Structure 1
Amino acid sequence: MTSTEDKNTDVHAATAATDGEAKHAAAEDIARQHQTYDSAEDETQGDDFAGEIARLEAEKADLTDRLVRTVAEMENLRRRTERDVADARRYAVTKFAGDMLTVGDNLRRALEALPADTRSAADEGLKALLDGVEMTARELDRTLAKHGIQVIAAEGERFDPNRHQAMFEIPNADVPNGTVMQVMQAGYTIGDRVLRAAMVGVSRGGPKADAAGGAKDQSAAAQS
C-alpha cells in the first residue's frame, strides 16, 4: 500500500468515526427530546388526574351534605306527622267533649237545686231518682277522664288567667291576694289544652302571694 492509499484510508476512517459520533449524538438528542416530551406529558396527565380527583371529592362532599340534609328533613317530617296524628286523635273529641260538659253542668245544677234537708226528707222514689242523677254525673266524669279530659284545679289555687276566668272578687284580708276562693263552674283540660276555663271568685285585699303554690298553702293555714 502506498502512502496515498494510507492517507485515504485514514481519511475514510476519520470520516466514519465522525459520522458515527454524529449519529450517536443525534440519537441521544432524539432520546432526550422523547424523554422530555414524555415527562411533560406525564406531568400534564398528573395535573389532569389531580383536578379530576378534586372535582370528584367536591362532588362527593356536596352529595353527602345533600343526603344528610334530606335524612334530617325526612326525620323532621316523620316527627311532625306523628305529632299531628297524635294531636288529631287526642283533640278529635274536643267539640263533643265541650257539649258533654254542658250535660254534666245541668246534672250538677239539678242536684244542687234540691236542698240537703229536702233530699233527706224525700220519699224513696225521689231519693232513687237523685241517686241515679248522681251516678250519671260520676259516670260522665269518668268517661271524660278516660279520654284525657281532666278537671282544672281551682279552689285554693293561685289565680291563673290561662286556666281560670275571674267572675268576681271577694274581699278578704287574711287570704293571699289573687287566691281562688270560690268555683262557680268547673274548668277542664283536654291533653295540654284548656277545654274550658274555670269560672271563679278571687280574693282581694290580702297579703301578696310570692310563689305559685304560696296562695294555696297560706289560704289553708289561714282557714285552720
Structure 2
Amino acid sequence: MADNTDNGNGDMDEWDALQAQIEGESTGQSGRADAPRGNPSPADLKATADAFLKKHKNDVLSDDEDDMPFPESEMDADEAGMNDAGAAKIQELEMQIATMKDQALRTMAEADNIRKRAERDVQKAKVYGVEKFATDVLSVYDNLSRALQTLDGQAKEELGDNARHLVEGIELTEKDLTSALLRHQIKPVAGLGSKFDPNVHQAVANIPHPEIEKGHVAAVMQQGFTIGDRTLRAAMVAVSTGPAG
C-alpha cells in the first residue's frame, strides 16, 4: 500500500510539474505573465494530459510485456501437437487416395473385361448365328457333289453340248457355294490321306489300303465341315488299316 501511495504522489507531482511548465510556456508565448495560477485553460489541460500519456506510454507497454508470460515449452508442445495432427491427417488422406486409386484400377479392369466379353459374344453371334442355316445348306452341297461324282472325265467328254453345259453349271454352283461357306468361316474338314481325328472325323469302316498308312483316312463318304472353332458336321470316313496281308 505504501508503495502505491508513493507512486500515486509521484505521479501527481509529475503532473503538477508538467502543468506548470506548459502554463509557463503558454503565458510566455502570450505575454501574460500575470495569468492566474491554478486555473489552467482547457488547452493547457489537454497539452498536460498529452505530455503525461506520451511519457508513460512506453512504461505501460513495457510493464504489459513483462506481465505476459510466453513459456517456450508450452509453445513447443503446442507446435509438436499440431505437427502430429497434421502428419496423421496427411497419412489418412494418402490412404484414402491409395484406396480410391485401387478402386479405379479395379473398375477399369472390370470394364475392360466386360468390353472383351461383349466383343467375343458379338463375334460368336456373328459366326455361330448361321450355324443352323449352314447345316441345312450342307445338304445342297452334298447333292451337288454327288451329282458331279457320277461323271468322270471320259463320261463328260461323251456328253452332248447341252449336257456338258449343264454339268459346267453344276460345277460353278458348287464352287460358288463353297466360296460362300468360306466367307462365313465354314471350312471343309481335311479328307483323304489325313490323319484320323475323332474331333472332326466319324469312322464308319476300317479298310486296308496299299498306299495310305494305318490310322489315316482311306475314303470319304460325306464331307465334313467346321464353323469357327466348332465342328459343324463330322466327316464320314473309312480309316486305313494299312496294306493288306
SS in 2 for 1:31: coil
Any conservation in 1 of the 2:209–2:218 contact (CA below 8 Å)? no
How many angstroms apart in 2 are the aligned matches of 1:183 and 1:176? 15
Instruction: Identify which of 104, 108, 114 aligns with 1:77.
Output: 114
Among residues 125, 131, 148, which one is paired with 1:94 in the alignment?
A: 131
CA deviations on 1:101-134 (whole Å, 9 max, x unpaired) are: 1111012223334576655444443333333222
TM-score by length of 2: 0.64
Matched-pair identity in %: 41
- 8 Å Cα contact 1:171-1:204 kept in structure 2: yes
Q: Tell me, which stretches of 5 or more residues in structure 2 are unaligned? A: 1-62
Pair 1:166 & 2:203 matched: yes
Residues 60-71 of structure 1 mapped to structure 2, 5 A cutoff: 60-71=97-108
Over alpha carbons, which structure has the higher Rg? 2
Q: Distance in 2 between matches of 1:154 and 1:123?
A: 33
Partner AA of 1:80 in structure 2: R
Q: Deviations over 1:167-199 (max 9, x none)?
A: 111134764321111111111122232221211
Find the counterpart in structure 1 of residue 25 from structure 2: none
The residue identity in structure 2 corresponding to 1:198 is: A
Q: How does 1:20-169 map to 2 (within 5 A)?
A: 31=69, 34-113=71-150, 119-169=156-206
Tell me the distance in 2 between the aligned counterparts of 1:162 and 1:169. Answer: 17
- Name the stretch that deviates more: 47-56 or 148-157: 148-157
1:77 shift after superposition? 1.5
Conservation of the 8 A alpha-carbon contact between 1:178 and 1:202: yes
User: What are structure 1's unaligned runs of at least 5 residues?
Assistant: 1-23, 207-224
RCO higher in 1 or 2 (8 Å CA, sep ≥ 6)? 1
Q: CA deviation at 1:149?
A: 1.7
After superposition, the Cα gap between the structure-2 partners of 1:173 and 1:113, relative to the gap in structure 1 and judged at 3 Å, is closer
Deviation at residue 59 of structure 1 after TM alignment: 0.6
